[in-house]
Amino acid sequence: MKIKNILIAGSICFFALVGCTNVDETVYDKYQPDEFYGTPEGADIALASVYAQIGGNWNGVGYAGADLGWYDLNSMCADEQVIPHRNTGDWGTDFARTYKHDWLPTDTMINNTWNWLYLSVFNANLAVNQLELAGADSSKIAEAKVLRAFFYYLLIDDFGDVPFYTDNNITVDKIPQASRQVVFDFIVSELKANVDLLPTGKGGELYGRFNKWAGYTLLAKVYLNAGVLTGTPKWAECLAACNVVDGGGFSLHSGAEDLANPLSSKYYELFGDVLPQDETILSIYTTVDVVSRNIFTVRSLYGAHCRALFGYDGWNGTIVPKEFYLKYQDGDVRKNQFLVGQQPGGANYTLDVTSLDDPGAGAQEGVRNIKFYPVVPRGGGGASNDFPIYRYADLVLMMAECNVRLGNPAAAKPFVDAIRTRAGISGLTGNPTLEDIYDERGRELNWEGHRREDMIRFDKFLLPNQFRGVSPEYRKIFPIPTSALNANPGLKQNPGY
């Protein structure tokens, strides 16, 4: 069973107002409001309201805890997954249009992503203000500022020039729009000033929270994509930040055979219940119907197949496109996550998909994915698998990429080979190219929320595929939602929209 995360539990109790029975035992009203947030308990309460936004739930709220939000928008525009409209009438065409790069400023996923991120920024601003006024411990103030930087990073990555504010005493229609460069500089400045103030511990009360290593991983991510975000690459800076995390005692989790594991390898412990701390750097704590939910397997499996495995119907939604599936070779333990052909419950998944939207795919067309094999508690609304936001394998491949881009591919080879041999396949015969690293990132990190960013950085995002032609340059960022433009007349829409 999963160990209760104190911070997330605090957010449920204090903000969602579920049945907390021991309120009288902790007399919070003996403090003035400013003093309360200076106490350890008060500081964690202030932070809990921010972390609760990362876990999220339905209606597009959260990083990867529900549907029609940030995760779907950033994953289904890439090459790794899509939910086709079914010719049986199931599912709409919004996911298919996203895969085909036909999204609109009025689309639900775009609106949800924008609203979630700005609600998160608001809560982070509030936490920073509460903690600073109360004279809270510097590490707690730093944590709130790093969280705010995290949300702003996601905003400029998706939307380019965005409304920027750090004080909530402003109305929506007055928030100024800042350039990507300005917000990028703010993010870097905030992270450099605060990540060393974060605790270095792992697990326990710090599980699912930004510690020093997660903070430096975020900084490395910002530097990794600096060329896209600002036009000026920061490969050396990215490598330096990665090296700090590399000194944090992380290692690749075992990929050994494990016949007790549903997917026959210890590798899949990385996507189960409490995630292993040897490799996990930052995760989302999940207990279905309590905190967030992990829907990725139930959303992929055909109804009767899921019922034969778990006792409840699957949603028959998400598939893995054929071209992506074929990137994996036999013997790679990471290929175990995919299902093709005859399955229990009478399902028979085909490799080929005839149509995404008109007339749509057949009911059993498409490769399915069980990377997040459901752990209990689980049900038709999702499972309790925690979700890795950052893990060491990602960092290893970031170090490989930086070395290649800095002209030192020989130094990159041990990093790439470590990922490959853990997966049960041989190392490269020569030094890695950027294409090698791009493909390895896809195989290792699929369905973890990184693919759109990687495709843009490696100049792959606009390339044609089976279901669309070449995409125009402006599709590298999403439009500002129409609702946001209506609320703030000072905002300028992104070009092309």
**CATH numbers and ranges of domains, the chain:** 1-198+462-497 (1.25.40.390), 296-385 (no CATH)
Neighbours of 495 (CB within 10 A): 11
**Cβ distance 379 to 287 under 8 Å?**
no
Q: What's the mean pLDDT in 78-87? A: 98
- Per DSSP, 452 falls in state H
- Model's pTM, two decimal places? 0.94
Q: What is the pLDDT of residues 171-217, one digit of tens each?
A: 999 999 999 999 999 999 999 999 999 999 999 999 999 999 999 99
Residue 451 clears pLDDT 70, i.e. is over it:
yes
Spatial CA neighbour of 81 closest among 482, 448, 355: 448
Interacting residues of 19 by C-beta distance below 8 A, sequence separation 6+: none
- Per DSSP, 224 falls in state H
Q: What's the mean pLDDT in 357-385? A: 97
Q: How much is the pLDDT for 23?
A: 31
- Per-residue exposure over 140-174, b if at least 16 CB sit within 10 Å of its own CB, e if not: bbbbbbbbbbbbbbbbbbbbbbbbbbeeeeeeeee
Q: What's the mean pLDDT in 390-396? A: 98
Q: What's the mean pLDDT in 341-348? A: 97
Q: How much is the pLDDT for 26?
A: 45
3-state secondary structure of 379: strand
Percentage of the chain lying above the pLDDT 70 cut: 93
Q: How much is the pLDDT for 32?
A: 61
Spatial CA neighbour of 16 closest among 61, 64, 41, 49: 49
Q: What is the pLDDT of residues 9-48, one digit of tens each?
A: 444 433 332 223 233 344 445 556 678 999 999 999 999 9
- Per DSSP, 66 falls in state S
Interacting residues of 387 by C-beta distance below 8 A, sequence separation 6+: 63, 64, 65, 283, 284, 286, 292, 294, 372, 448
Q: What's the mean pLDDT in 105-126? A: 98
Return the H-helix or E-strand segment holding 403. Answer: helix 392-405
- Token pair in block for residue 233: 């690459």
Place of tokens 């843009």: 456
